[in-house]
Structure formats: C-alpha cells, structure tokens
Amino acid sequence: MNVGDEHYNSSAPVFLRYSTRLELLEKDGHSWKLSLRALTRLPENKQIKAEWTVEHFDAVVIASGGYDAPYV
C-alpha cells in the first residue's frame, strides 16, 4: 500500500503506520506481541514525542523490501 491508496479499498481496515518503530516482537502463546514506539513532532516546540503501545496479532509478516521475488 502506498500513500494515496486510501481509495483502493476504503472498507478494509488500515494497518499501515508511519513514523512507528517495532521495538520488540515476541511469541505470546498462539499470538504475537508487538511493542511499538510511535514518534510525533509537537507543533508548539518542535520536540519529538514518543508514545509506546503493545498490540497482539495472530500472524506477522516481515517484509523488508529487499527482494522482488517472494520465498515462503
């Protein structure tokens, strides 16, 4: 998905986030636990604010973009 692709399928949930770093990926029973750090620039003083969140997913795909042919 690229920037500007919102019109492609507006009924699909959006899982794309910018300025977010995956800090820790752990197997948690039958799911995956992701510890994420989102960075936002505060408009009033130009400082960077870090917000930590934890989310759980059934599956994780690691797509680094370094290859053009998938190998599963």
Q: What residues make up the domain containing 26?
A: 13-57
**22-41 mean pLDDT:** 93
Query: Is residue 68 included in any domain, yes or no?
Result: no
Query: Is residue 30 included in any domain, yes or no?
Result: yes
Query: Is residue 69 included in any domain, yes or no?
Result: no
Position 49 pLDDT exceeds 70: yes
Query: Is residue 38 included in any domain, yes or no?
Result: yes
Query: Is residue 20 included in any domain, yes or no?
Result: yes
Cα–Cα dist 41/62, whole Å: 27
Whole-number average pLDDT of the chain? 80
Confidence of residue 1 (pLDDT cuts 50, 70, 90): very low
Which has more pLDDT, 39 or 65?
Answer: 39
Query: Is residue 42 included in any domain, yes or no?
Result: yes
Query: Is residue 33 included in any domain, yes or no?
Result: yes
Query: Is residue 7 included in any domain, yes or no?
Result: no
